[in-house]
Structure 1
Amino acid sequence: MAAKTKTTKKSQSDAAAERYITTEELRRHNKASDLWISIQGKVYDVTAWAERHPGGALPLLSLGGQDVTDAFVAYHPPSAWALLDRLCVARLADYAVSDASRDYRRLVAEFARAGLFEKRGRGALLVLAAMLLMLAAAVYGVLASSSAIVHLLSAALMGALWMQSGFLGHDSGHYNVLPTPALNRLVQVVAGNCMAGISIEWWKQNHNAHHIACNSLDFDPDVQHMPLFAVSAKLFASLRSAFYGRTMRFDRAARLLVSYQHWTFYPVMCLARLNLFAQSLVLLLSPAKRVPHRAQELLGLLVFWTWFPLLLSFLPSWTERLAFVLVSFAATGVQHVQFCLNHFSSSVYVGPPRGNDWFEKQTAGTLDISCSPWMDWFHGGLQFQVEHHLFPRLPRCHLRRVAPLVQDLCKKHGLQYSSSSFWDANLRTLATLRAAALQARDLANPVPKNLVWEAVNTHG
């Protein structure tokens, strides 16, 4: 029976190798019920596999009916190639590779030969140790001191702890920060769910969609913040979010909020953690959503929602408890600002991502933050956003090293490579928000002509 099964699989593979289709025919297989993709000229039927895909079904649906070689190379280790043969159904008769893609794949291969994807350093262990020290210091400050100032400093330390948790969760979601997948998973749950109250599975689904469709207004959840923010007037068309499965309505309430978004940006970022808490719970408590390790995820959140309220209960008054929460949220709000700086002021587009311009879309939709090496801890690797989007499996300790190679490649192919200081990136983001805000006001009513209004908006 085993020999017969092996022979059957071989005959199916041989049949697939002899069948050729065109790119135009491939495009027709782009639905959940009929989903094909192409990788290096081979065509794969991933219809049944999509729901079991570790990165979620949405990345496959977003790129369905296309050549996805660059995205596959970016996200998957060599071991993943062996899993593809059983899904192969044909070959592309008109398969072609752009010069930019060819150079990009060559660079990925060079990094792999140099072992850069496997050399992780000791960064994760150092971050974990720092997080435990910050947690111990924050708890000690609350329990051992009666000073309100010490309590506020402890709250700020808690915010710094959550920032490092975010960086570590981000890294561990892209590659194994520790030697084994089991240890990597443990780090994710402890650092994310238990210590920060954020579901790592929610983050994976959100972040994978962001990477695949970087800065697509209707496919990338990281630029979908209606009704609070709109990074482009194209969102005023009430686009439908492919990630959330709902229309992002630009109604009267959204128009009002967007009209003042350059004023409300930083205050909202100070409370943005509330949204992460809510999104995590919505996903994990939704029976209609497929969530790997759901029970484990919920247990991790239960740990957080046990120890954090318990810690707050040791503060002497409700005033101090509220102040502790606000200060800790505001401190970690710096990280939420960082997430926005990398993309809000970059190029955006409408529609699904395209697999054959991977390199171009990733460089156009991202912004690096220039800083000295001694500030790398503050940015957690996110300052090399272009490099990270092109090589998401690359440990952050190598991003500074490969940045000049990416810059050379962009220059060779005439592609955009954007980099700004942290200060300038904030100014660019505010300018983007203000431009969209003024367009929203024009849609609502003519701008009132009075000196106070003009003064406010001149310096807004």
Structure 2
Amino acid sequence: MTFEEKPEGNGSLVDENQLDLSAKHQANGKPAASGRAKLPARQEANAKCGLPSKSLSTYTWQEIQRHNQKTDKWLVINRKVYDVTGWADRHPGGRRVLNHCAGEDATDVFRAMHPDPDIVRLYLKPLLIGELAPEEPNQERNKNSQLVEDFQELRRTLETMNMFNANLGFFFLHLAQVLILEALAWVIVWHFGSGWLITIFIYFLLTVAQAQDSFLQHDMGHLSVFKKSKWNRLMQNFVIGHLKGFSAKWWNNQHSQHHVKTNIYPKDPDVVFGPFFVVGDLQPVKYGKNKIKYIDYEKQHLYFCTVGAALLMPVYLNLDSIRAMYRRGYWEDIAWVSTFYIRYFITFGPFYGIFGTLVLIYLVKLLESLWVAYVTQMSHIPMKMSTEENQDWFSSQVLATCNVEQSFFNDWFTGHLNFQIEHHLFPTMPRHNYHKVAPLVKSLCAKHGLPYVNKPILKAFGDIIRALKKSAALWMDAYYSHPET
């Protein structure tokens, strides 16, 4: 990515609408003079880099940690202190990601979430307000400094090994698979008609295509596959919006929070299931003590297997995506999502009619949802869930995720999400490299006494049910044993 190009908006600190910071936001969050001329990205960046250096204010960790509110947010990156308060609403990864990291060292989070952090650092300069005092450690004192240093050294090693370089052929193979399956479904119904057996067969083809597209969507949300960011953005909108029918901006904002604060309640949206489930050890007790009973949580493991997993994508996530698009004015995303439905009506409408095509869409999403829900939840629901503990990046991700044993089936049909530990440690790493770095990650876990959990896939699926039953038991004990408050 060159300086003239515009960074991709997949959780990074800048996007194409933010390369000119001159007219709107300064480090103190106040508007700048409106008459200042806009500069090209390279010229402005060079001008900023050429500013005379000033002596920076110094801060202690105690001072920084006080700035952890929605209206007062400071971050530390590589010992530099940044005030992101006035700029948080412009963050492409969503303001909540910055809220979640306020008052903390965000060095490893920043490096993990940005495919090309060098260009982003240029635009951190207007937000720079100081640095850590010389006597302060690099991280907060509750963190294991040796583990942090070892992890950062591991990342540098992997960068030297080119483990973050994407293989275009790999991803185009997966994209081709999705397109061929969908095209084949249309050709079959066009040639043989819409009888029951044909309908069931194309239903199966479309379900496999949508499941594989879910994993490709996951890739596009994290990676800069192309060197030019405009192509990355186009590919992301095509895969997530046109092929999947979801808002790309909504997905990026939600998923960025999940990665930054994995299994941290309530910061990770993937462990906040509204009234439908209680998960982990803390949330069930909280609900029970407060006599909260939206649903019979004693049976939550049963309705996850039947209703919950099936409705996750066609109902829960679909409605949340639509709500976000309209409330936040994601007009470009609305246009892309519209093409998803238009394509289905054009290709299958002549055979099934409008209502029949809608039924086909949601039946496909329903069956796909069963598989994707199990694949995504098997590595998180059974693992540690907690409130904010401000652990180091390595520990927080390893304890909140687990792997599923490698095999051709597990790799291909889970979109390599069986390597959740490596994926969460290195979100911008192409998934075809996970198995190469896994031994190094496992070795670092062993060195520092952290569990590296690797399970057979059937055990991983079963652990979802066992974890939900355990959480239900905690809720029941708190609900029935404590007097109403």
Secondary structure of the equivalent of 1:253?
Answer: coil
Contact in 1 for aligned 2:75/2:84 (Cα 8 Å) = yes
State how 1:34-433 maps to structure 2 within 5 Å: 34-76=72-114, 77-79=116-118, 80-93=120-133, 94-97=136-139, 98-144=145-191, 145-236=193-284, 251-254=292-295, 256=296, 258-267=297-306, 268-273=308-313, 274-286=315-327, 289=328, 294-309=330-345, 311=348, 314-315=351-352, 322=359, 325-351=362-388, 354=390, 357-373=392-408, 375-433=410-468
Where does the alignment leave 5 or more consecutive residues of structure 1 unmatched? 240-248, 447-460
Amino acid at match of 1:259: E
- Measured on the aligned residues, the alpha-carbon RMSD in Å equals 2.7
The CA deviation string for residues 46-90 of structure 1, in whole angstroms up to 9 with x for no partner, is: 122222222111111111011111111212234133333332211
Secondary structure of the equivalent of 1:252?
Answer: coil
Amino acid at match of 2:372: Q
* TM-score, scaled relative to structure 2: 0.81
CA–CA distance in 2 between the matches of 1:322 and 1:8? 56
When structure 1 is superposed on structure 2, of 315-324 and 340-349 the one drifting more is 315-324
When structure 1 is superposed on structure 2, of 318-327 and 163-172 the one drifting more is 318-327
CA–CA distance in 2 between the matches of 1:25 and 1:320? 58
CA–CA distance in 2 between the matches of 1:102 and 1:73? 14
* TM-score, scaled relative to structure 1: 0.85
Contact in 2 for aligned 1:315/1:321 (Cα 8 Å) = no
Contact in 2 for aligned 1:152/1:327 (Cα 8 Å) = no
Contact in 2 for aligned 1:173/1:204 (Cα 8 Å) = yes
CA shift for structure 1 position 373: 3.8
Amino acid at match of 1:251: I
Contact in 1 for aligned 2:241/2:337 (Cα 8 Å) = yes
The CA deviation string for residues 32-59 of structure 1, in whole angstroms up to 9 with x for no partner, is: 3321111121111112222222211111
Secondary structure of the equivalent of 1:335?
Answer: helix
CA–CA distance in 1 between the matches of 2:218 and 2:291? 31
Secondary structure of the equivalent of 2:270?
Answer: helix
Contact in 2 for aligned 1:193/1:199 (Cα 8 Å) = yes
CA–CA distance in 1 between the matches of 2:354 and 2:104? 59
CA–CA distance in 1 between the matches of 2:48 and 2:187? 66
CA–CA distance in 1 between the matches of 2:356 and 2:122? 59
Corresponding residue number in structure 2 for 1:242: none
CA shift for structure 1 position 319: 8.1
CA shift for structure 1 position 331: 3.2
CA shift for structure 1 position 140: 2.4
- Tell me which of 70, 77, 84 is aligned to 1:32: 70
CA shift for structure 1 position 419: 1.2
Contact in 2 for aligned 1:158/1:328 (Cα 8 Å) = no
Where does the alignment leave 5 or more consecutive residues of structure 2 unmatched? 1-35, 38-45, 140-144
The CA deviation string for residues 315-374 of structure 1, in whole angstroms up to 9 with x for no partner, is: 3897897477435521342012111111000001013x62x5111110000011112145
Aligned-residue identity in percent: 29
The CA deviation string for residues 3-31 of structure 1, in whole angstroms up to 9 with x for no partner, is: xx9699845x4221xx2110000011122
CA shift for structure 1 position 91: 1.4
Residues 52 and 21 of structure 1: CA distance in aligned 2, closer, same or farther (over 3 Å): same
Residues 148 and 324 of structure 1: CA distance in aligned 2, closer, same or farther (over 3 Å): farther
Secondary structure of the equivalent of 1:346?
Answer: coil
